[in-house]
Amino acid sequence: MILGIDLGTTNSVCAVFKDGKSQLIPNRFGEFMTPSIVSFEKDGKIHIGQSAKTRAALFPKETIKAFKRYMGTDKTYKIHGHLYTPVELSSLIIKHLLEDAENHLNEKITEAIISVPAYFNNIQRSATKQAAELAGLTVDKLINEPTAAAIAYGLQDKPEYTDFMIVDLGGGTFDVSIMEYFDGVLEVKASGGDNFLGGEDFTNVLIELYLTKARIRTTQLNPKAKQKLYYTIEQLKRDISSNRPLIIEPFLAVKADKVEITFEQYKQACEKLLQKISKPIERCLRDSGLEPVEIDEIILVGGASRMGFIKTMVTRMFKKIPRTDIDPDLTIAVGAAIQAGLKAKDKDLGDIVLTDVAPYTLGTGVVNDNDLYNSQGLLFDPIIERNTTVPKPM
Ligand code: AMP
């Protein structure tokens, strides 16, 4: 059995391909989503997932989250005198998911397919594989998150030459991809995004708005109060809608006004973030050489895509209502499991060939022979342009 893992910035999900379909695996608490959070007690006890999330409010300095953003970097986290790398922290999450999966399925699992943002470079991809290996899993295939989403929606069953756009706004990463299906091949035509943009940024905007209106200064808040503020506002963010303003009674142990935030005020405060979302979408479309009307289907993925104005923005840009019928938090794990089924050559799956694109332009440094004094220094000579299809290995 190969485990399909969506190793997310805020939550991780796993699933397997069994009895001809993708099956999500509940964790030890019966939930499909496990928070990607790790917390360390002084005596060495390690909390992972839900118990780490619960501890975060009380022990913010002992708790680490959103470390996926630093995969492939030199960043370390120092807790109780120990240094932890994002790879080690990710491996703890993977190990935790693996334990839950083995208990649920009652069988040993040694192999996994893990999803990564399309934007991840080679160093970030190797770091993800390394994390899985540390957790005792072999990973010979990583799958781009939008590719997994496309498979989850069964886009390969659509008519030939259908073009799709996958817009994935998770907790900390934003991916947009345009794909085409033809002749048994699901091809990523263009991809883009921002791996420092996600639902957390929207939560932070709402927090700023709340603090200003409630007349609270951040200097009045200790770390525990800041955590409480974050989790409370994060929950309230889910309720904000055009027909119901948020009414927030004081909930922190500091003097505060009762606050009302309308949808319009929140949307206006998010204007810059919305631009950061629309720009990569427009660029991706340009790279693909398609017009908005040529995109046959748009799929929204990632918890933060539930925000009403994301759907409205995409609908306006493409004059088409995006699809959201699979739970946007679980879509990628479903797709990763289907890919796992494909790899295991499960007889219930037809042959879908997937191709990917190079997310960055790859090239070499050259010097200009005519530049006698080498005033131009080393020049970049592209060999493989951004969004060129990567050939399939034989
Ligand atoms: P993910 O990692 O895909 O689960 O994304 C988590 C992000 O989605 C977090 O920033 C959540 O605040 C956000 N999110 C989840 N559900 C909603 C919702 N109903 N409305 C707004 N944001 C949401």
Q: What CATH number does the domain containing 233 carry?
A: 3.90.640.10
Q: Which of 63, 65, 298, 14 is nearest to 200 (CA)?
A: 65
371 falls within a domain: no
- pLDDT band at 352, cuts 50/70/90? low
Whether 26 is in a domain gets the answer yes
For residue 187, the CA-to-ligand 1 centroid distance in Å is 28
Is 379 a member of any domain?
no
| Residue range of the domain that includes 208 | 199-269
Q: Are residues 90 and 113 in the same domain?
A: yes
Question: Same domain for 284 and 171?
Answer: yes
Domain identity same for 21 and 124: yes
The mean pLDDT of 103-107, rounded to a whole number, is: 97
Distance CA 244, CA 255 (A): 25
Judgement on whether residues 240 and 351 belong to the same structural domain of the protein:
no
Written as one letter, the residue type at 253 is: A
Least Cα distance to 173 among 149, 206, 139 occurs for: 149
Q: Give the Cα separation of 312 and 300 in Å (integer).
A: 12
Per-residue pLDDT of 149-158, as tens digits, reads 989 998 767 8
Q: In the predicted model, is pLDDT for residue 97 greater than 90?
A: yes
Q: Is 154 strand, coil or helix?
A: coil
Q: Are residues 6 and 75 in the same domain?
A: yes
Which residues have C-beta atoms less than 6 Å from ligand 1?
Answer: 8-11, 170-171, 198-200, 203, 234, 237-238, 302-304, 306-307, 329
Same domain, 108 and 228: no
Is 6 catalytic? The answer is yes
- 120 and 7 in a common domain: yes
| pLDDT for res 353 | 58
- What is the overall mean pLDDT for the chain? 90
**Mean pLDDT, range 3-15, rounded to an integer:** 95
The answer on 192 and 165 residing in a single domain is yes
**Helix ranges, 293-365 (H):** 308-318, 331-343
Cα 177 to middle of ligand 1, angstroms = 20
Ligand 1 centroid, distance to 129 Cα (angstroms): 26
- Pocket test of ligand 1: the residue of 175, 329, 334 to mutate, having most ligand atoms within 8 Å of its CB, is 329
Within this chain, do residues 143 and 187 fall inside the same structural domain, yes or no? no
If asked whether residues 231 and 295 sit together in one domain, one would say no
- In CATH, what number is assigned to the domain containing residue 289? 3.30.420.40
Is the pLDDT assigned to residue 394 strictly greater than 50? Answer: no
pTM of the model: 0.84
Residue 391 lies in a domain: no
Domain count, the chain: 3
347 is catalytic: no
Q: If you measure from the C-alpha of residue 304 to the centroid of ligand 1, how many angstroms do you get, rounded to a whole number? A: 4
Rounded Cα–Cα distance for residues 119 and 122 (Å):
10
Question: Are 309 and 175 part of one and the same domain?
Answer: yes
Q: Point out the catalytic residue in the list 53, 100, 129, 168.
A: 168
Look at residue 371 and tell me whether its pLDDT is greater than 60: yes
Residues 11 and 118 occupy one common structural domain: yes
The residues pairing with 261 across neighbouring beta strands, listed in sequence order, are 246
